[in-house]
């Protein structure tokens, strides 16, 4: 609509509306991935759900593009845009725990660090990611796996209800009874259907865990990966573990003469009874000598924050992800060829297990569809200097090309890059048509398209 200005938006919102020329504009436009260096027309620091409704209405009426930002961790930088509006929810970080009902309600800008701090005070947790600075919003809406998923299910499986502002500016509470089609779509369908202003989760008792990294010589990784492909299915579900390749950081538990070497890594998190940890981890420890190990008892929030320093905001990132139902000899060979070539300290590959509880949910029970996949791999190229972008991206692409023939066609939407948009349909498999129909109901004009986009079904 002609004549609508940013000043009109200022009048409609309680939170700050930051525009080019404001002293905090450069800070406000930043997201986690420095390659997403974009210049929005305005960043709205939403102060409440009313502000979210105002921004959505303003975007729709003015025709400006709309980016929605929670934790800002999107690999393609979907939390920002050029010349459009950013609904920045990162100031809304409250978490209210209901210990009697084992639930927690969280604001959309909360990170997993915020969430875990609040729930840990009650000895409770839900499945979150492996880094504490990631936002609960984007992770939950894409599916979500992490240290607790083998026993508790995906993050989206623990979502009980959500408040959503839809493209027409309506505020809806969704759960299994209210707008169940929308609630189904939110559990894996990403930011396609509206702006979630509140998430309610199921919690379970989780307090101290036995967790941390083990580092191995590269020549032990073939045996470790072969062991892992069975162990990831058979190990007790309170054990989450993932192997990968990693440049050894300069940390005191690693021998100084190995700092900077590329090594194999296995990160473990045992959330069962502490006295059982040694027996559960014994088969892994017996497999190969460790170059270094820092596994021990710690509060659950501590393992969630243990690797934050390796992945600080402001670096230049390029990601690819894929699913596999098994780790074949072929894919192990691909990992052994490309994993040792990690190009920087923050670059890595992780092979996450999504076995156990996530696989007991039917593929059509939530939008997240790849329930029979046992492994979700992420290849993460990270550099500091733009002149290293080409080499970092080439490493990820070559690696991905090598694992692809041994992987499913789809991957986890939250591990996709901007050039993966053509994989969205295959990622949602048999759920895609239903998602497109829900999209038509709640966002027929595709206002929410800065995401791994599901296009509205034709009328």
Ligand X SMILES: Cc1cc2nc3c(=O)[nH]c(=O)nc-3n(C[C@H](O)[C@H](O)[C@H](O)COP(=O)(O)OP(=O)(O)OC[C@H]3O[C@@H](n4cnc5c(N)ncnc54)[C@H](O)[C@@H]3O)c2cc1C
Does position 69 interact with ligand X (CB under 6 A)? The reply is yes
Q: Which stretch binds ligand X (CB under 6 A): 6-14, 64-72, 233-241, 322-330?
A: 64-72
Q: Taking the complex as a whole, how short is the minimal distance between the CB of residue 227 and ligand X, in angstroms? A: 22
Q: Taking the complex as a whole, how short is the minimal distance between the CB of residue 75 and ligand X, in angstroms? A: 6
Does position 41 interact with ligand X (CB under 6 A)? The reply is no
Which is closer to ligand X, CB of 102 or CB of 310?
A: 310
Which is closer to ligand X, CB of 291 or CB of 431?
A: 431
Closest-by-Cβ residue to ligand X is 138
Taking CB under 6 A as the criterion, which residues in 86-145 touch ligand X?
Answer: 89, 108, 129-131, 134-135, 137-139, 141-142, 144-145
Among 70, 212, 213, 264, binds ligand X (CB under 6 A): 70
Does position 36 interact with ligand X (CB under 6 A)? The reply is no
Which is closer to ligand X, CB of 225 or CB of 311?
A: 311
Does position 156 interact with ligand X (CB under 6 A)? The reply is no
Does position 427 interact with ligand X (CB under 6 A)? The reply is no
Does position 15 interact with ligand X (CB under 6 A)? The reply is no
Q: Which residues contact 375 (CB under 8 A, 6 or more apart)?
A: 232, 323, 324, 325, 326, 327, 351, 352, 353, 354
Q: Which stretch binds ligand X (CB under 6 A): 63-71, 172-180, 386-394, 429-437?
A: 63-71
Q: Taking the complex as a whole, how short is the minimal distance between the CB of residue 169 and ligand X, in angstroms? A: 14
Going by their DSSP bridges, the two strands 316-324 and 208-216 should be labelled as unpaired
Binding-site residue total for ligand X (CB under 6 A)?
Answer: 34
Does position 71 interact with ligand X (CB under 6 A)? The reply is yes
Does position 240 interact with ligand X (CB under 6 A)? The reply is no
Does position 195 interact with ligand X (CB under 6 A)? The reply is yes
Does position 280 interact with ligand X (CB under 6 A)? The reply is no
Interface with ligand X by CB under 6 A: which residues? 32, 68-75, 78-79, 89, 108, 129-131, 134-135, 137-139, 141-142, 144-146, 190-191, 195-196, 311, 414, 450-451
């Amino acid at each position: 609509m002609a004549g609508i200005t940013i000043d009109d938006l200022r009048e409609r919102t309680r939170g700050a509306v930051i525009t080019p020329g404001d002293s905090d504009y450069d800070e406000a436009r930043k997201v986690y991935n420095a390659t997403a260096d974009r210049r929005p027309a305005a960043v709205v620091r939403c102060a409440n759900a009313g502000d979210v409704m105002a921004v959505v209405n303003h975007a729709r009426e003015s025709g400006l593009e709309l980016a929605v930002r929670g934790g800002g961790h999107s690999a393609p930088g979907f939390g920002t845009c050029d010349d459009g509006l950013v609904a920045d929810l990162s100031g809304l970080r409250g978490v209210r725990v209901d210990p009697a009902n084992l639930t927690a309600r969280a604001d959309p800008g909360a990170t997993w660090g915020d969430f875990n701090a609040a729930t840990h005070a009650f000895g409770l947790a839900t499945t979150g990611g492996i880094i504490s600075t990631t936002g609960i919003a984007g992770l939950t809406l894409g599916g979500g796996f992490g240290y607790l998923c083998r026993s508790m299910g995906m993050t989206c499986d623990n979502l009980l209800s959500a408040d959503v502002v839809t493209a027409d500016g309506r505020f809806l509470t969704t759960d299994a009874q209210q707008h169940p089609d929308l609630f189904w779509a939110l559990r894996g369908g990403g930011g396609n259907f509206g702006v979630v202003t509140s998430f309610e989760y199921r919690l379970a008792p989780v307090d101290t865990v036995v967790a941390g990294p083990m580092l191995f010589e590269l020549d032990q990784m073939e045996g470790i990966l072969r062991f892992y492909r069975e162990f990831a299915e058979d190990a007790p579900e309170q054990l989450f573990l993932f192997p990968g390749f990693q440049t050894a950081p300069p940390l005191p538990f690693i021998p100084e003469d190995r700092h900077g070497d590329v090594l194999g890594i296995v990160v473990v998190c045992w959330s069962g009874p502490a006295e059982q940890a040694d027996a559960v981890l014994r088969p892994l420890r017996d497999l190969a000598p460790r170059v270094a190990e820092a596994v021990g008892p710690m509060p659950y929030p501590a393992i969630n924050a243990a690797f934050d320093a390796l992945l600080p905001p402001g670096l230049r990132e390029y990601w690819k992800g894929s699913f596999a139902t098994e780790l074949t000899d072929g894919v192990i060979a691909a990992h052994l060829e490309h994993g040792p070539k990690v190009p920087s300290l923050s670059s890595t590959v992780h092979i996450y297990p999504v076995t156990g509880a996530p696989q007991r949910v039917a593929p059509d029970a939530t939008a997240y569809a790849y329930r029979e996949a046992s492994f979700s791999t992420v290849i993460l190229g990270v550099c500091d200097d733009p002149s290293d972008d080409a080499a970092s991206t080439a490493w990820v692409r070559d690696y991905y090309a090598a694992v692809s023939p041994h992987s499913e066609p789809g991957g986890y939407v939250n591990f996709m890059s901007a050039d993966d948009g053509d994989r969205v349909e295959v990622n949602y498999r048999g759920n895609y048509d239903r998602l497109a129909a829900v999209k038509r109901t709640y966002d027929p004009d595709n206002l929410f398209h800065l995401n791994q986009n599901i296009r509205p079904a034709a009328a």
